[in-house]
A and B are shown apart, each in its own frame.
Chain A
Amino acid sequence: MLVIENLTFSQRLDNINVYAKSGQFVHLLGPNGAGKSSLLQIVSGLGVPDTGRVTFDNGDIAQLTMIELARFRCFQEQQQSHIFAITVRESLSFFAQDLVMPAMLENALEIQPFMTRSLLTLSGGESRRVQIARALLQIWPMIEQGQALILLDEPSQGLDFRHQHLLLSCLVELTKLGNTVLMSHHDLNISTQYADRVWLMRSGVMEHFGDVKDVMTPAILSEIFDCQVREFNDSAGNSILQTYLP
């Protein structure tokens, strides 16, 4: 169980109270600058909040050492710059306890074809897939036990739709093992398809949180994003959200 209480951080997060049960797939949505990355950073233990606290399975994140956190929590950061011409395989080997790529992960990320290439030569999407693999491999033993906290900041950025769906399906499988996944992104229909819970932020405030059907309504979304959202059904009867300017 991930619990965030009275969390305030400089000018970016304002008194946030929210929680997620273990095994839930939580999507963190909101306009640019809403505080999504700041929230992920604090939950990961990289940042220290001004007030309030974050607990995971009753352990206070701020009280745990970096080594203790590194055993069960991973965080794929939004920004990543590479300066050294390290191969994909070697870069993963620095973070994984076991260099054998789990089949489940390989099926979703398909990084085998560029294992021997340098990180500097990868495309944006390929680079992102490697970065996700690195984050997950770091705590893979804990993920297999279903006790991990997986934090991803825009993991689908740069991925083609096939790989977006492969990634999201894989993350759903991971939550079924009991892992808690918190990810930010910008695709409303991805959330209606895959999320268990949605957290909606704006200007450092957690405006809404709850089940997809309660939160992902055109009225709420239009207001949060300051952009029109309408809902209609496709020929197969699936609900589709469309965004447009008035």
Chain B
Amino acid sequence: MLGGLNTDKQANMFLDPVELRIFWQLRIPLVITALIVGAGLAVSSAVLQVLLRNPLADPGIIGISSGASLAAALFLVFGSTLPFLYIQYLLPVFCFFGALLSTTAIYFISKRLTGIHSGVILAGIAISTLSGAIIGWLHFLSDAQTMLNMIFWLIGSLNQADWKVLLVAAPILVLSLGYLMCQGRALNWLYFGASSAQLAGLNVPQFHKIMLLTCALVVGIAVSIAGSIAFVGLLVPHMLRNFFGFDNRFILPASALLGAIVLMVVVLIGRVAGDASVPVSMLTATLGGPIFLYSILRLNRQMS
């Protein structure tokens, strides 16, 4: 009897025009956003960790997302008088160019730091700090409503994207991801440093440039449609490498899959927790923080 009722209700869901509208206009974009953002952040981090020879690199740590956040904050402060419709569609565009701009800045600064081994990371920290400072000042100077908008944007949400945004963002993101995932062989050589990869037949300077920009593209899109989401990028590839080895021909596609799964789980937790959408970054940081701590302790054991 109960089972019969359930099937009835499920069948009705696809007939009820309101339910159907919710399903197509809200749920499907939410799922697509979660899948592509999760995959995008995880794969770009997997690539960046090798490129920068830092097992715990992440778009947030090296400053790619900070540029996007700064662009978003600037837009929210100075564009708050625009009609809501414009804000909704212009914000992602701004974030995207913010990410590209900060990556380009990091790239050129790090090129001048030739004498320093982790030039990219140091340049990233500089750019992140600067962006963080400007965002802080904007917080300080803005009115209450703008500040609230900024806070909500900065903690990330998977509910922001709709079909119009996704139809532009998703194809570019998926294509870039596909390209990144084909670079496993070359990235395997880069574990051993630039000259080892060069000796194995890779044009390292060119490869470096292309990969950094592709990662910026992916992260820029991810941040622009979902805000800044912490830890997913850092942890997913790192955990996979701990358990399954370092072959990027496997790690890159596996990161895409696991990254997508993790954000889907976050969506599910949000649904279970009630209708109020739980901030994504809060959840990922709550889950990710302890795992991160475990990872660095484990890393220390391996090094010593």
Identify the A interface with B (CB < 8 A): 44, 46, 65-67, 69-71, 73-75, 77, 80-87, 90-91, 93-95, 118, 120-121, 134-135, 138
Contacts of B196 in A (CB 8 A): 77, 80
Beta-carbon contacts under 8 Å, B251-304 to A: 299, 302-303
Of the candidates A70, A82, A93, the one whose C-beta lies within 8 Å of that of B200 is A70
Q: How far is the CB of A76 from chain B (nearest CB, A)?
A: 9
Contacts of B299 in A (CB 8 A): 85
Contacts of A95 in B (CB 8 A): 189, 200
Using A44-B199, A90-B246, A94-B247 as known contacts, say yes or no to A84 and B55 having CB atoms under 8 A apart: yes
Whose C-beta in chain A lies nearest to the C-beta of B298? A85
Report how many residues on chain B are interfacial, defined by Cβ distance under 8 Å.
24
C-alpha spacing A44/B189, complex, angstroms? 17
Contacts of B203 in A (CB 8 A): 65-66
Beta-carbon contacts under 8 Å, B46-66 to A: 53-55
| B17, CB-defined interface residue at 8 Å | no
| B97, CB-defined interface residue at 8 Å | no
C-alpha spacing A77/B192, complex, angstroms? 11
C-alpha spacing A94/B299, complex, angstroms? 22
In contact, A86 and B191 (Cβ under 8 angstroms): yes
Contacts of A67 in B (CB 8 A): 201
Contacts of B191 in A (CB 8 A): 83-84, 86, 91, 94
Using A94-B191, A95-B189, A120-B303 as known contacts, say yes or no to A86 and B246 having CB atoms under 8 A apart: yes
In contact, A120 and B302 (Cβ under 8 angstroms): yes
Using A83-B53, A120-B302 as known contacts, say yes or no to A94 and B195 having CB atoms under 8 A apart: no
5 CB < 8 A contacts A-B: A46-B198, A77-B199, A84-B241, A94-B188, A134-B192
| B245, CB-defined interface residue at 8 Å | yes
| B193, CB-defined interface residue at 8 Å | yes
Contacts of B189 in A (CB 8 A): 94-95
Contacts of A74 in B (CB 8 A): 199
Whose C-beta in chain A lies nearest to the C-beta of B242? A85
Whose C-beta in chain A lies nearest to the C-beta of B184? A94
Q: How far is the CB of A29 from chain B (nearest CB, A)?
A: 23
Contacts of B192 in A (CB 8 A): 80, 82, 91, 134
Whose C-beta in chain B lies nearest to the C-beta of A74? B199
Whose C-beta in chain A lies nearest to the C-beta of B241? A84
Whose C-beta in chain B lies nearest to the C-beta of A71? B201
Q: How far is the CB of B144 from chain A (nearest CB, A)?
A: 46
In contact, A46 and B195 (Cβ under 8 angstroms): yes
Q: Which of A75, A81, A84 has the most CB of B within 10 A?
A: A84
Contacts of A121 in B (CB 8 A): 302
Q: How far is the CB of B238 from chain A (nearest CB, A)?
A: 10
Q: Which of B189, B200, B299 has the most CB of A within 10 A?
A: B200
Whose C-beta in chain A lies nearest to the C-beta of B50? A84
Does more than half of chain A's interface fall in helix, strand or loop, or is it mixed?
Answer: mixed
In contact, A93 and B247 (Cβ under 8 angstroms): yes
Q: Which of A46, A70, A118 has the most CB of B within 10 A?
A: A70
Whose C-beta in chain B lies nearest to the C-beta of A44? B199
C-alpha spacing A246/B247, complex, angstroms? 55
Q: How far is the CB of B60 from chain A (nearest CB, A)?
A: 20
Q: How far is the CB of B250 from chain A (nearest CB, A)?
A: 11
Using A95-B189, A118-B302, A120-B302 as known contacts, say yes or no to A90 and B245 having CB atoms under 8 A apart: yes
Using A86-B191, A94-B191 as known contacts, say yes or no to A46 and B55 having CB atoms under 8 A apart: no
In contact, A46 and B247 (Cβ under 8 angstroms): no
Using A91-B192, A94-B191, A118-B302 as known contacts, say yes or no to A66 and B198 having CB atoms under 8 A apart: yes
Known: A70-B200, A83-B54, A86-B246. 18 other contacts (CB 8 A): A44-B199, A46-B199, A69-B199, A69-B201, A74-B199, A80-B196, A83-B53, A84-B246, A85-B302, A86-B191, A90-B246, A94-B189, A94-B191, A95-B189, A95-B200, A118-B302, A135-B199, A138-B199
C-alpha spacing A65/B188, complex, angstroms? 20
C-alpha spacing A66/B185, complex, angstroms? 15
Q: How far is the CB of A183 from chain B (nearest CB, A)?
A: 16
Q: Which of A65, A66, A71, A120 has the most CB of B within 10 A?
A: A66
C-alpha spacing A5/B97, complex, angstroms? 50
Beta-carbon contacts under 8 Å, B145-199 to A: 185, 188-189, 191-193, 195-196, 198-199
C-alpha spacing A86/B193, complex, angstroms? 13
In contact, B247 and A90 (Cβ under 8 angstroms): yes
Contacts of A75 in B (CB 8 A): 199
Whose C-beta in chain B lies nearest to the C-beta of A87? B245
C-alpha spacing A160/B247, complex, angstroms? 32
| B125, CB-defined interface residue at 8 Å | no
Contacts of B87 in A (CB 8 A): none
Whose C-beta in chain B lies nearest to the C-beta of A89? B245
C-alpha spacing A87/B247, complex, angstroms? 11
Q: How far is the CB of B41 from chain A (nearest CB, A)?
A: 20
C-alpha spacing A48/B154, complex, angstroms? 47
In contact, A81 and B193 (Cβ under 8 angstroms): yes
